[in-house]
Copies of this chain bind each other. A is one copy, B any other.
Amino acid sequence: MTLGIATLVTLDDVRAAARRIGDVVRTTPLVRAPVPRSGGRPATDSPDAIWLKCENLQRVSAFKARGAYNFVSRLSEAERAAGLLTYSSGNHAQAVAFAARELGISATIVMPVDAPRVKRRATEALGARVELEGTTSSERKARAEAIQETEGGTMVPPFDDPDIIAGQGTVGLEIVEQLGTRNPGLVLAPIGGGGQLSGVAAAVRGVAPDARVVGVEPIGAASMLRSLEAHAPVTLETVSTVADGLKPVRPGDLTFAHCRDLVDEVVVVEDEWIRDAVRWLFELRLVVEPSGAATVAALLGGAVSPVEEGETVAILSGGNIEPSLLADWLA
């Protein structure tokens, strides 16, 4: 499958999403920070040189609230009455539960059996019905589709949808707005299914065509990098990473097209860099989950360097880390 440039999400689509979700999601802070580095001395003993976009401080502690609310808010009354379904390793689950509750809609969500407890509990606390199934995105997708067949309802796609992508893209729009007169030189976003990176690329390149937009994947779940090398979406046989939110085995067709056409580079990070990044961010007093720390991991591990011209921005995509895991890593 190939998708032409005409089908990509545009800056105008992202702006429309921003107007739609503005009263419900948070404008998250863009905070200054030193250049990330590994181990040893505190993170705070160097001058500030980069920016962190704190989607860990978003509603449901993840950027996913943006896309889900944008998608769900566009459904008709009849569609809303039939309820929502989705499948997710965690943050999209909470996001759909959040959007459903905000709009008074029922939601059923299929999560993997190994979903972090913190994500499952939060989804349930938002009033959604949670079903557990398998460990891969394809297993939980199949279960969600089976439920849809018997019970009806609208499936909220995790990433491969223009309204989801446009919603996630509001992160990029906020970044360029918050930088004001400063020039966005490099924007880093993690890649799970590629929804956030796609939307951010559409928004940032739409406003600042010369900005570099770089995606970050775990070395053990590099489905987008492999797909770009193969010039088409490929499915990984196995994935292995501490970043539970970055495990989709295949990019979407639409997110692949965005990354092919709008993203400058995809880099990979080691799990050990991700752990270091979570620790480093804790020293800055930010709670960030492994997936959300991947961009900082890329800087910390040297997979990418801050730019000389313009500002370097790392998106912290979420904060839903199990407290016991964080405690282990900090010990």
Contact = CB atoms under 8 A, between A and B. Distances in A.
Given A45-B125, A121-B42, A125-B45, A323 B26 contact: no
B32 A44 contact: no
A150 interface: no
A282 B321 CA distance: 10
A300 to B, nearest CB: 18
A286 interface: yes
Contacts of A287: 282, 285-287
Contact of A61 (B57, B101, B285, B331): B285
A191 interface: no
A245 to B, nearest CB: 14
Place the interface of chain A in its size category: 20 to 34
A41 interface: yes
Interface string A81-116: 000000000000000000001000000000000000
Contacts of A31: 26, 28-29, 57
A330 B325 CA distance: 11
Nearest to A55: B285
Given A327-B330, A331-B323, A126 B285 contact: no
B323 A57 contact: no
Interface in A49-99: 54, 56-57, 59-61
A288 interface: yes
A2 interface: no
Contacts of A179: none
A122 interface: yes
B323 A330 contact: yes
A48 interface: yes
A284 interface: yes
Interface centre among A26, A285, A327 (most CB of B within 10 A): A285
A285 B60 contact: no
A286 B126 CA distance: 20
Contacts of A57: 29, 31, 284-286
Contacts of A288: 285
Interface of A: 26, 28-29, 31-32, 41-42, 44-45, 48, 54, 56-57, 59-61, 101, 121-122, 125-126, 282, 284-288, 319, 323-324, 326-327, 330-331
6 contacts: A26-B32, A57-B284, A285-B287, A285-B288, A286-B287, A326-B327
Given A286-B286, A326-B327, A327-B327, 19 more contacts: A26-B31, A26-B48, A28-B31, A29-B31, A29-B54, A29-B57, A44-B60, A44-B61, A44-B122, A45-B122, A48-B59, A56-B285, A61-B284, A282-B323, A285-B286, A285-B319, A323-B327, A324-B327, A324-B330
